[in-house]
Structure 1
Amino acid sequence: MSDQSPQPDTEKRPPNNNLLFAVGVLIIIACVAGYILLSPEEKPQPIVEQTIDEPVMPEYQAPEPQEVAEPETLPEPEVVQRPEQRQVEPEPEVAPLPTLNESDTVVVASIDDYLSDQAMSLLITDDVIRRGVVFIDNLAKGKVAAKHAPVERPEESFSVIEGDILTVDPNSYERYTPYVKIFTSMSAAQIVRLYDEYKPLINDAYAEIGYQGDAFNQTLEEAIELLLDTPEPKGDMPLLRDSVTYQYAYSEWERLPAAQKQLLRMGPENMKKVKAVLRNVKAELEKQ
Structure 2
Amino acid sequence: MSEENNKSLVPHFTIGAVVLVVLAALIFWPSEPEPLSVVAEVPPMVVPETVEPIIDEPLETTLLDETENNTEAKPQPIPEVAPQPLDTSDGTVKTKLLQLSDYDSFARLIIDDALLERFVVMTNNLAEEEISGNNRVLVPLDKPFRTYQQADKQWIDPASFKRYSPYVDVLASLETQSLLQLYAEYKPAIDDIFAEISSPSATFNGKLKQAIDILLDTPEIPMPVEVYTDSVMFKFADPQLESLSAPQKQLLRTGPENMRRIKAKLREIKEAL
The Cα of 1:211 is off from its aligned counterpart by 4.2
The Cα of 1:98 is off from its aligned counterpart by 2.7
Given that residues 98 and 106 in structure 2 are in contact (C-alpha distance below 8 angstroms), is that contact kept between their aligned partners in structure 1? no
Match of 1:54 in 2: none
The Cα of 1:192 is off from its aligned counterpart by 2.7
SS in 1 for 2:109: coil
Q: 1:134 aligns with which of 75, 100, 121?
A: 121
Given that residues 189 and 281 in structure 1 are in contact (C-alpha distance below 8 angstroms), is that contact kept between their aligned partners in structure 2? no
Match of 2:106 in 1: 119
Q: 2:143 aligns with which of 137, 153, 156?
A: 156
**RMSD (Å) for aligned C-alpha atoms:** 2.1
Match of 1:266 in 2: 254
**TM-score using structure 1 length:** 0.62
Match of 2:187 in 1: 199
Match of 1:251 in 2: 239
5+ long unaligned stretches in structure 2: 1-80
Match of 1:61 in 2: none
1:28-59 superposed Cα distances (whole Å, 9 cap, x missing partner):
xxxxxxxxxxxxxxxxxxxxxxxxxxxxxxxx
The correspondence of residues 1-288 of structure 1 with structure 2, limited to 5 A, is 96-98=84-86, 102-115=88-101, 116-164=103-151, 165-212=153-200, 215-283=203-271, 287=273
Match of 1:33 in 2: none
5+ long unaligned stretches in structure 1: 1-92
Instruction: Measure the CA separation in 2 of the matches of 1:216 and 1:96.
Output: 25
Given that residues 100 and 179 in structure 2 are in contact (C-alpha distance below 8 angstroms), is that contact kept between their aligned partners in structure 1? no
Given that residues 104 and 126 in structure 1 are in contact (C-alpha distance below 8 angstroms), is that contact kept between their aligned partners in structure 2? yes
List structure 1 runs of 4+ shifted beyond 2 angstroms: 95-99, 187-193, 210-214, 280-284
SS in 1 for 2:161: helix
Amino acid at match of 1:124: I
Instruction: Measure the CA separation in 2 of the matches of 1:272 and 1:130.
Output: 28
The Cα of 1:235 is off from its aligned counterpart by 1.9
Structure with the larger helix share:
2
Instruction: Measure the CA separation in 2 of the matches of 1:232 and 1:264.
Output: 8
Instruction: Measure the CA separation in 2 of the matches of 1:97 and 1:217.
Output: 23
Match of 2:12 in 1: none
Change (3 A) 1:249 1:213: closer
1:209-236 superposed Cα distances (whole Å, 9 cap, x missing partner):
1344881111111100110000111221
The Cα of 1:138 is off from its aligned counterpart by 0.6
Instruction: Measure the CA separation in 2 of the matches of 1:268 and 1:207.
Output: 36
Structure scoring higher RCO (CA < 8 A, sep ≥ 6) equals: 2
Name the count of aligned residue pairs: 191
Match of 1:10 in 2: none
**TM-score using structure 2 length:** 0.65
Change (3 A) 1:282 1:213: farther
* Structure with bigger gyration radius: 1
Amino acid at match of 2:162: E
Given that residues 180 and 273 in structure 1 are in contact (C-alpha distance below 8 angstroms), is that contact kept between their aligned partners in structure 2? yes
SS in 1 for 2:150: coil
